[in-house]
Amino acid sequence: MSVSAFICRVARSRVGFFQHKNTKSIIFITTEIQKLQNSNSNFELSRNICSSASPFSHKRLFTSCWENQGRLNDMSIKRNYATMPPHEKVLLPNLSPTMTTGTIVSWEKKVGDKINEGDVLALIETDKSTMEMETPEPGYLAKIIVPVGTRDVAINQLIAIIVSNEEDLDAFKNYTGEETTKTLDAKLDASPSTVASHSPPVVEEPPPPSSTNRVFASPLAKRVALEKGIDINNVVGSGPRGRITVADIENFKTPLIAPKIEKVTAAPISKQPSPELQSTPSVFQPSLVQPPVAEGVMFKDIPLSNMRKTIAKRLTESKQTVPHYYLTSEINMDKVFELRSQLNAESLGAFKLSINDFVIKAAALSLRKVPECNSQWFSEYIRQFENVDVSVAVSIDGGLITPIVKDADKKGLTAISADVVALANKARDKTIQPHEFLGGTFTVSNLGMYGISNFSAVINPPQSCILAVSASEDRVVPDQTSETRMKISKMMSVTLSCDHRVVDGAVGAAWLKTFRGYLEKPITMLL
Encode pLDDT of 74-108 as tens digits: 333 233 344 788 888 889 888 877 788 888 889 99
Q: Distances from the Cα of 287 to the Cαs of 241, 284, 308, in angstroms?
A: 42, 9, 20
Residue 16 has pLDDT above 50, yes or no: no
Q: Of 1-10, 135-144, 290-299, 440-449, which gets the smallest average pLDDT? A: 1-10
pLDDT band at 37 (very low <50, low <70, confident <90, very high): very low
Mean pLDDT across 41-47: 39
Which distant-in-sequence residues (6+ apart) come within 8 Å of 402 by Cβ?
391, 392, 393, 394, 437, 440, 443, 460
Q: What is the mean pLDDT of residues 305-329?
A: 91
Q: Which residue blocks in 370-404 are alpha helix, DSSP H?
A: none
Mean local confidence (pLDDT), 348-373: 95
Q: Strands, E, within 128-266: which ranges?
A: 130-134, 139-144, 153-154, 158-163
pLDDT at 289: 62
Mean pLDDT value across the chain: 75
CB 466 within 8 A of CB 443: yes
- Total H helices, total E strands in the chain: 15, 18
Residue 14 has pLDDT above 60, yes or no: no
Mean per-residue pLDDT, 113-134: 85
**Position with higher pLDDT, 492 vs 28:** 492
Q: Is the pTM of this model over 0.85?
A: no
- Inform me whether the pLDDT recorded for 290 exceeds 80: no
Distance CA 498, CA 467 (A): 9
Nearest to 34 by CA among 104, 79, 83, 78: 83
Set 152, 231, 479, 504: catalytic member: 504
Could you give the dihedral angle defined by the CA atoms of residues 470, 474, 476 and 478, in that order, rounded to the nearest 10 degrees? Answer: 70
Confidence of residue 182 (pLDDT cuts 50, 70, 90): very low
pLDDT above 70 for 196: no
pLDDT at 247: 79
Residue 281's pLDDT is 41
Name, of 137-151, 167-181, 214-228, 235-249, the range with top average pLDDT.
Answer: 137-151
Residue range 493-504: mean pLDDT, rounded: 96
Is 504 known to be catalytic? yes
pLDDT at residue 517 above 90?
yes
Residue range 30-43: mean pLDDT, rounded: 45
Find the range with the poorest average confidence among 331-335, 395-399, 469-473. 395-399
Specify the range with the lowest mean pLDDT, choosing from 55-69, 163-177, 230-244: 55-69
Catalytic residue among 324, 334, 407, 500: 500
Band (213; pLDDT cuts 50, 70, 90) = low
Check: CB of residue 163 under 8 Å from CB of residue 140: yes
In tens, the pLDDT along 233-289 reads 888 887 766 778 877 887 786 554 444 444 444 444 444 444 333 333 444 455 556
Count CB neighbours of 268 within 10 A.
Answer: 5
pLDDT on residue 257? 43
**Domains of the chain (ranges, CATH numbers):** 87-163 (2.40.50.100), 311-526 (3.30.559.10)
With vertex at residue 426, the alpha carbon angle to CA 216 and CA 318, rounded to the nearest 5 degrees, is: 80
Q: Up-side HSE of residue 148: CA atoms within 13 Å toward CB?
A: 9
Pairing of strands 139-144, 153-154: unpaired
